[in-house]
Amino acid sequence: MKATNNILLKLTLVALIFTIVSCNKESNTVSENHTQQNGSHPNLILTQESVSNIKSELGNVPVFDATLATTKEAVDLAIEAGIDVPIPKDMAGGYTHTQHAANYVNMQKAGVLFQLLGDEKYAIFIRDMLLEYAEMYPTLGRHPQERSYARGKFFWQCLNDSNWLVYTSQAYDCIYDWLPEEQREHLNTNFFRPYADFLSVETPKYFNRIHNHSTWGNVSVGMIGLVMDDEELVDRALYGLKDIDIDKKAIDNDGGYIFDEDGKAGFLANLESPFSPDGFYTEGPYYQRYAMYPFMIFAEALQNKKPELNIFEYKEGVLLKAVDALLNLTDANGDFFPLNDGQKGMSYFTSSLVSVVDIAYYHGSQKPELLSVAKDQNAVQLNASGFAVAVGLRDGKEQPFIKESMELSDGANGDEGAVGILRYNDDNNTMGLVMKYTGQGLSHGHYDKLSFSLYENGEEILQDYGLSRFVNVEQKNGGGYLKENKTFAKHTIAHNTVTQNGISHFDYDFETGSNNHSEKFLFDASNSEVQIMSATETNAYPGTKFHRTMVMVKGTEFEKPYIIDVFKVNSETENQYDLPYYYFGQIISTSFDYNSEKTLAPLSDKNGYQHLWKEAQGKADASSIQFTWLNEKKFYSLTAATSNEDAIILARIGANDPEFNLRRDPTIILRKNDTKATVFASVIESHGNYDSVAEKANNAYSHFESVKVLLANEAYTAIELKMKTGATKLLILSNNDASKEASHTLDIDDANYQWTGAYYFK
Amino acid sequence: MKATNNILLKLTLVALIFTIVSCNKESNTVSENHTQQNGSHPNLILTQESVSNIKSELGNVPVFDATLATTKEAVDLAIEAGIDVPIPKDMAGGYTHTQHAANYVNMQKAGVLFQLLGDEKYAIFIRDMLLEYAEMYPTLGRHPQERSYARGKFFWQCLNDSNWLVYTSQAYDCIYDWLPEEQREHLNTNFFRPYADFLSVETPKYFNRIHNHSTWGNVSVGMIGLVMDDEELVDRALYGLKDIDIDKKAIDNDGGYIFDEDGKAGFLANLESPFSPDGFYTEGPYYQRYAMYPFMIFAEALQNKKPELNIFEYKEGVLLKAVDALLNLTDANGDFFPLNDGQKGMSYFTSSLVSVVDIAYYHGSQKPELLSVAKDQNAVQLNASGFAVAVGLRDGKEQPFIKESMELSDGANGDEGAVGILRYNDDNNTMGLVMKYTGQGLSHGHYDKLSFSLYENGEEILQDYGLSRFVNVEQKNGGGYLKENKTFAKHTIAHNTVTQNGISHFDYDFETGSNNHSEKFLFDASNSEVQIMSATETNAYPGTKFHRTMVMVKGTEFEKPYIIDVFKVNSETENQYDLPYYYFGQIISTSFDYNSEKTLAPLSDKNGYQHLWKEAQGKADASSIQFTWLNEKKFYSLTAATSNEDAIILARIGANDPEFNLRRDPTIILRKNDTKATVFASVIESHGNYDSVAEKANNAYSHFESVKVLLANEAYTAIELKMKTGATKLLILSNNDASKEASHTLDIDDANYQWTGAYYFK
């Protein structure tokens, strides 16, 4: 077959490249232990060899044994409940949706149980269910719910059908050899192959994108192709559909473009383009979490069936780097930072991440830090990968996974900005500061250049709103995105960054946003007492340059670190600049006067502002203001340099929200009017706590007296922090030269400062 | 001296009464072991005998040893920091306030350490500090902050000065014999006696009330009197000031009346009047917690020095009952229900409750349930009481303290209404339903007849707002009550009960409220599947009768119990009735249509309504409505019988709150207009949860289809609950006869129902 020759040629080329690439790296010792098992199932995620190894050790590997027992319990209950393959009807969260989702999960588990426990009832369960699906399949058109740009059959969108197939392929592999040939033939010919075609050639605008949806699509087709030894499907999965015609203007139901300029498609393209060399996935951690499972499970299948691909070394081992990056994009509780569209509360305790961590451990270099994540997860994938992890845990090999400060570049080549994370950890306290200076992030991207969020001990202090959606809560728009996601959550004003003239970055235009990205300027966490990150943005508003620098300082003066935030703006024209800080909790004190509104109106009628109630407005009337609040029994203060005329707006989310989709969270907005160039300079502190049992307020006051911009010219920005003790700190930033080697000398008032490197701080 | 003869006569009488009262009770076995130690200090809280006993066992009693070590560490730090007795200046939360509070705590601890460890440095610390206080004392007028009706010297209010003296008396007792006689004389004559006079004869309107303030006042004078063997002070403490003239109209700075009609005063009167025979303290649990320490510590001192008083058997052992009641007035985490003025977050983990629990254990019947509370507290009082507790814990004698359903009567004679608590406990879930049908509760009372709050696993589901105050947070009005406490938190509309015509109960008149109370109707928790409580209120609005019945049902149908709420209203006139439910979290769905407001205005301009933003309003337009919300990853629903014309208002706290003193919490208000008689009948359920890691909504829908009032006449109220399964439940309440014996027969539509007892439920 021509297709087969084609793929063989490509694979040979790919393998050659990998061999060259991997010459300078430690070779993957584990992968050498794997032998190809073509033709003898299982050979996808489980292999005959690994099944035999695992069976001989059952009862001796606690976490594996416990996971197996939990799995058995769940599947036995499902078998007892009986097979239920309803006619598809409901949206996400509804009955038929939930049932079909439960079915693929149970089948996948039953396959494993059949292999490891040898009890035929599990094989029978899968067979009978598959036969029901195969019988129903030809009778189905596309799903009756019409919301998706790519409607599925069992589910309202092909995405979920692909989920189904990724899991079911694993179940099918487990009973493949056990099935009579005629049933296998029947399922292959009349169900699985047509189903794979449906998800690919019949739905090209779903299958051929650079997007997490398509990754699932590619992988589902590839997985079933590997099971059936259908090289045409595997080829399609790896390289996408060729010569198809997609409308350049077509958008999906989330508002993302479908067409890819470069015509790239398929699994390898999806591995190539959205991942940076550091393993950051441009859609953001929430979707990276979602995409990592198909990436890793298919990689594991490829490693088992096509080890010559060396898939784990592709793009200098980007898959393994991606797992490491993803685990680092979390707060102290393991919750992913909700950058771009991200639902809060999702964490690396999700079951797909169990597989991802185990696969990364086994097919990577058996990092003992991953074992401690697995230990927290307290479950493993039931195959050789999970088995290796369980053995590692049994043998006490784990080491703490310490989240360090790091910068993760964005863009396929790592040159499209980055996410910067500054961390502080001691025995009593962790702080995490996340700054986003990336590219747009595909269709799930937010218009939030240079925005940040701040965490303390896994709690949000200054939040990123995340998405506006209740995933799988049927009552809320069938579990899908809510319209406030577009009208609020994606807009600039919903983020802790500057909005100019009440208009979002890139005029809220997806194409413009996608063609641009912020630029890294400086990231230096080498000094644990003064960690700094800095980036610029020149395209969000033509003619205006943003340069934000954030510093995490932990000296000996105070118990906890404090944050210095310097947001420099330079424009050719006079503009209004709004900088919100989305805090939580109750206001304790303000240094400025304000007038509370007798009735509430929205801040404006568009660009996200229509969703903010204006609760109060004041004038700074001073060269520095202070704002103290109390949340979850902790005191925080923002001390900001101001000019007399600066307005301060106290606002709250919730206006124009007729279905109460938005949380009623508060914000303080610093506003400068009719200004060309300015510097927003602030100190953010967590400084005290309230003991509600002793009724004692400890350190309820800020340690700072004022923040002052001493100098702001093209080359330098100088900020003075004055503490209540009378002591001062001076921060001077070099605006143009971030190199460590550069020498600087600067006069401010009558004093001369000389230093080497990007900044002065003393 | 005449005064001494006088008190001896009284004490003899009191002792005689106690002897008679206690004839029918088990005698207190512990108290018999105590011998009077007059003249040989310590003899107040510690005694020479107990010190000797404890010292011989140090090192063998883990919790005692650990508490002692923690105490030593704290005091050593304080000694190292040096003595600081600043000139009084600040409000609560400010520096001088906090320092003087720290001083008395440290002195009390240092006294214990001196006795138990024998290190003189602790005695020296106390002596030197007392001499500084004694030197400063004559130079001080009343505190410069003028907010209190009874300004203190070291603090802005006498209350805190009394706190100081209660603790310091204990320290003084510990070094009394160690001090040279001339220093003792100096302190007695020039400091403590004048200070005691200042708090009593010089501030009669503070000292002579029935109020927690005065309890502290009485006890402080009594404690120092016992230390100095000053019988005049002890007499004053026990019986109050005689023949003083207090303006009948005088009110304190919290708005409470000072004058007591019956002219009662002193410790025994404060023990008599605010406590019901069940041990409920009419001000509510938050202030009961505050008052229990002086009550119990003085009782312990009296028991040591005047055992003939048999103080723990006074009023049939009300002190011990009060401790039991207080521990039961808590949620699953031990947080006190915030009835009346109560700050949320206060719990029985507060240090004063450590003493209270230990004293109750030792001087009561050594209940093993108290040990489990002490175990959670993980600390003990450092005297014989705490030692007994620590020994009990060491010996593993504790038994679980299980909070059962109970009714706690209010009023000195137990005939002024009650608080009802219905509870459900299983391995996964606890529910607590608290209904308030008490008297006014003195100056800290709220206008909230028949209100309720609902808890699940220690979380608030439907809240009682509590007070509006940040206790000891100086920035917030010096830590004192905020004006919104009077303008919102005390008002009826701030509670989950009915407001008529937009006016609070008793027209918000303290005197009227204080002259009335709700009436118990029924409390029956004997059937764990159907627990019921019911009460009436006929005085809140003249001409209108309220009758609320709440039922907690736990059958086998659902995982968790559900609540039936039947609020029957009968009036001679047509009125508007508002019934709010203060929920938390986000709205998931409503069965009714509503219009969201484009701009927000307050609900009205007075009676608490001025603090509620009207966010949306709808019309029921159906005979039953449903409202589902999500909070902390759990789904809840309210299903309520309605008539078509009923209005439904979605509101949020926060209007007319210029200093952001109020929390922005939401409420749903059911409103009936132009109605004489009606029944609000609802079902409240906790029915599901959201797993944010699996992104799965479990049981996101209510189990109920509708609630319908089948019948509501003078004698009976019948409510039909229809479930989604089609099954129905019928609840019939007998409105006039709650007796268990009464037989009833009733025709509804074509069916006849016969039953015995207060209600029918099937």
Locate tokens 């009826």: which residue?
A: B492
Indicate yes or no: CB of B346 within 8 angstroms of CB of A470.
Answer: no
Computed over every residue of chain A, the mean pLDDT equals 93
Give the residue-averaged pLDDT of A325-333: 97
d(CA B643, CA B572): 20
d(CA A521, CA A738): 7
Kindly state whether B663 is in contact with chain A, defined as any CB-CB distance less than 8 angstroms: yes
Indicate yes or no: CB of A628 within 8 angstroms of CB of B475.
Answer: yes
Q: Which residues pair with B551 in a beta bridge?
A: B532, B564
Domains A274-403 and A406-703 share a fold: no
d(CA A464, CA A4): 48
The predicted pLDDT at position B536 comes to 98
Kindly state whether A347 is in contact with chain B, defined as any CB-CB distance less than 8 angstroms: yes
d(CA B1, CA B232): 9
Burial label for A94, CB within 10 Å (0-12, 13-18, 19+), is middle
B35-89, pLDDT tens digit by residue?
333 459 999 999 999 999 999 999 999 999 999 999 999 999 999 999 999 999 9
Three-state SS for B300-343 is HHHHHHCHHHCHHHHHHHHHHHHHHHHHHCECCCCEECCCCCCC
Q: What is the distance in angstroms between the Cα of B590 and the nearest Cα belonging to chain A?
A: 9
d(CA A293, CA A398): 23
Alpha-carbon Rg for chain A, nearest whole angstrom, is 28
Residue B442: strand, helix, or coil: helix
- Token duo for residue A329: 């994009």
- Token duo for residue B141: 């007028």
Q: Are A629 and A688 in contact (CB under 8 A)?
A: no
Kindly state whether A473 is in contact with chain B, defined as any CB-CB distance less than 8 angstroms: yes
Residue B122: strand, helix, or coil: helix
Kindly state whether B727 is in contact with chain A, defined as any CB-CB distance less than 8 angstroms: no
Q: Which residues of A touch B93 (CB under 8 A)?
A: 697, 700
pLDDT interval class at A5 (50, 70, 90): very low
Q: What is the distance in angstroms between the Cα of B358 and the nearest Cα belonging to chain A?
A: 18
In this complex, which of B472, B666, B690 lies closest to A696 when CB atoms are compared?
B472
Q: What is the distance in angstroms between the Cα of A7 and the nearest Cα belonging to chain B?
A: 37
A559-578, pLDDT tens digit by residue?
999 999 999 999 999 999 99
Closest chain B residue by Cα to residue A662 = B586
* Res. A414: pLDDT tops 50: yes
Q: Are B680 and B640 in contact (CB under 8 A)?
A: yes
Residue A692: strand, helix, or coil: coil
Residues in A 482-541 with any Cβ partner in B closer than 8 A: none
Burial label for A185, CB within 10 Å (0-12, 13-18, 19+), is exposed
ipTM confidence score? 0.90
CA torsion sign, A67 to A68 to A71 to A73?
Answer: negative
Q: Which residues of A touch B611 (CB under 8 A)?
A: none
The predicted pLDDT at position B420 comes to 98
Q: Which residues pair with A268 in a beta bridge?
A: none
Indicate yes or no: CB of B596 within 8 angstroms of CB of A658.
Answer: yes
The predicted pLDDT at position B22 comes to 39
End-to-end CA distance of chain B: 72
CA torsion sign, A503 to A507 to A508 to A514?
Answer: negative
* Res. A456: pLDDT tops 50: yes
Residue A630: strand, helix, or coil: strand
Residue A611 C-beta-side C-alpha neighbours within 13 Å: 29
With a CB cutoff of 8 Å and minimum separation 6, the contacts of A189 are none
Kindly state whether A559 is in contact with chain B, defined as any CB-CB distance less than 8 angstroms: no
Residue A140: strand, helix, or coil: coil
DSSP-H helix ranges across B24-157 = 48-57, 62-81, 95-117, 120-136
The superfamily (CATH) of domain A274-403 is: Chondroitin AC/alginate lyase (1.50.10.100)
Locate tokens 């670190």: which residue?
A: A561
Whether domain A406-703 has CATH 3.30.420.340: no
In this complex, which of A475, A588, A600 lies closest to B473 when CB atoms are compared?
A588
- Token duo for residue B239: 């019986």
Q: What is the DSSP-derived secondary structure letter of residue A488?
A: I
Q: Which residues of B touch A602 (CB under 8 A)?
A: 599
Alpha-carbon Rg for chain B, nearest whole angstrom, is 28
In this complex, which of B476, B598, B692 lies closest to A343 when CB atoms are compared?
B692
Q: Which residues of A touch B701 (CB under 8 A)?
A: 475
d(CA B357, CA B362): 9
The predicted pLDDT at position A34 comes to 31
- Token duo for residue A27: 């070779």
Q: Which residues of A touch B656 (CB under 8 A)?
A: 596, 598
d(CA A327, CA A361): 13
Domain spans of chain B, in order of start:
1-223, 274-403, 406-703
In 3D space, the residue among B200, B265, B190, B199 whose CA is nearest the CA of residue B228 turns out to be B190
DSSP string, A296-353: HHHHHHHHHH-GGG-GGGHHHHHHHHHHHHHHHSB-TTSBBP--SS--TT-BTTSHHH
DSSP string, A494-507: GSSSPEETTB-GGG
Q: Are A434 and A418 in contact (CB under 8 A)?
A: no
* Res. A244: pLDDT tops 90: no
Residues of B belonging to the active site? 287, 444
Indicate yes or no: CB of B346 within 8 angstroms of CB of A693.
Answer: yes
> What is the mean pLDDT, run by run of 10 residues, along chain B of 762 residues?
45 41 36 42 97 97 98 98 96 92 98 98 98 97 94 97 98 97 97 98 93 95 98 97 76 66 86 94 95 97 96 96 98 97 97 97 98 97 98 98 97 97 95 98 96 97 98 94 98 98 98 97 98 98 98 94 98 98 98 97 98 98 97 98 97 98 98 98 97 95 98 97 97 97 96 97 97
End-to-end CA distance of chain A: 71
Distances (CA, A) of B155 to B165, B474, B478: 12, 13, 12
Whether domain B1-223 has CATH 1.50.10.100: yes
Q: Are A162 and A200 in contact (CB under 8 A)?
A: no
Kindly state whether A470 is in contact with chain B, defined as any CB-CB distance less than 8 angstroms: yes
DSSP string, B15-60: HHHHHHHHTTS---TTGGG----TTSS-BSSSBHHHHHHHHHHTTS
The predicted pLDDT at position B24 comes to 39
Kindly state whether A471 is in contact with chain B, defined as any CB-CB distance less than 8 angstroms: yes
* Res. A632: pLDDT tops 60: yes
Burial label for B343, CB within 10 Å (0-12, 13-18, 19+), is middle
The predicted pLDDT at position B259 comes to 64
Residues in B 596-625 with any Cβ partner in A closer than 8 A: 596, 598-602, 613, 615-616
Indicate yes or no: CB of A588 within 8 angstroms of CB of B346.
Answer: no
- State the amino acid at position B179 in one-letter form: L
* Res. A26: pLDDT tops 50: no
- State the amino acid at position B403 in one-letter form: K
- Token duo for residue B119: 């290190």
Residue A468: strand, helix, or coil: coil
pLDDT interval class at A259 (50, 70, 90): low
- Token duo for residue A464: 């990123």
Closest chain A residue by Cα to residue B662 = A586
Kindly state whether A633 is in contact with chain B, defined as any CB-CB distance less than 8 angstroms: yes
d(CA A198, CA A639): 58
Q: What is the distance in angstroms between the Cα of A676 and the nearest Cα belonging to chain B?
A: 33
Q: Which residues of A touch B470 (CB under 8 A)?
A: 588, 630, 690, 697
Give the residue-averaged pLDDT of A693-716: 96
- State the amino acid at position B631 in one-letter form: N
Give the residue-averaged pLDDT of A666-695: 97
d(CA B357, CA B385): 9
Distances (CA, A) of B541 to B160, B504, B646: 38, 9, 21
Kindly state whether B659 is in contact with chain A, defined as any CB-CB distance less than 8 angstroms: yes
- State the amino acid at position B409 in one-letter form: S
Q: What is the DSSP-derived secondary structure letter of residue B189?
A: I
B284: left (phi over 0), alpha (psi -120 to 50) or beta: left
With a CB cutoff of 8 Å and minimum separation 6, the contacts of A408 are A276, A278, A279, A280, A325, A328, A329, A418, A419, A421
Question: Where is A697: in which H helix or E strand?
Answer: strand A696-698
Kindly state whether B99 is in contact with chain A, defined as any CB-CB distance less than 8 angstroms: no
Give the residue-averaged pLDDT of A625-645: 97
The predicted pLDDT at position B726 comes to 96
Residue B678: strand, helix, or coil: strand
In 3D space, the residue among A732, A747, A725, A285 whose CA is nearest the CA of residue A551 turns out to be A732
Q: What is the distance in angstroms between the Cα of B474 and the nearest Cα belonging to chain A?
A: 8
Question: Where is A548: in which H helix or E strand?
Answer: strand A544-553
In 3D space, the residue among B590, B651, B649 whose CA is nearest the CA of residue B622 turns out to be B590
Locate tokens 């505190």: which residue?
A: B143
Helix axes B95-117, B120-136, angle to 10 degrees: 140
Kindly state whether B232 is in contact with chain A, defined as any CB-CB distance less than 8 angstroms: no
Distances (CA, A) of A530 to A403, A430, A520, A561, A760: 17, 15, 18, 9, 10
Q: Which residues pair with B416 in a beta bridge?
A: none
pLDDT interval class at A8 (50, 70, 90): very low
A55-112, pLDDT tens digit by residue?
999 999 999 999 999 999 999 999 999 999 999 999 988 899 999 999 999 999 999 9
pLDDT interval class at A258 (50, 70, 90): low
Contacts across the A-B interface (CB distance below 8 Å): 131
Locate tokens 């004053």: which residue?
A: B236
Q: Which residues pair with B547 in a beta bridge?
A: B536, B568
In this complex, which of B475, B602, B700 lies closest to A588 when CB atoms are compared?
B475
Q: How many CB atoms lie within 10 A of CB A556?
A: 6
In this complex, which of A351, A473, A694 lies closest to B351 when CB atoms are compared?
A694
The predicted pLDDT at position B25 comes to 37
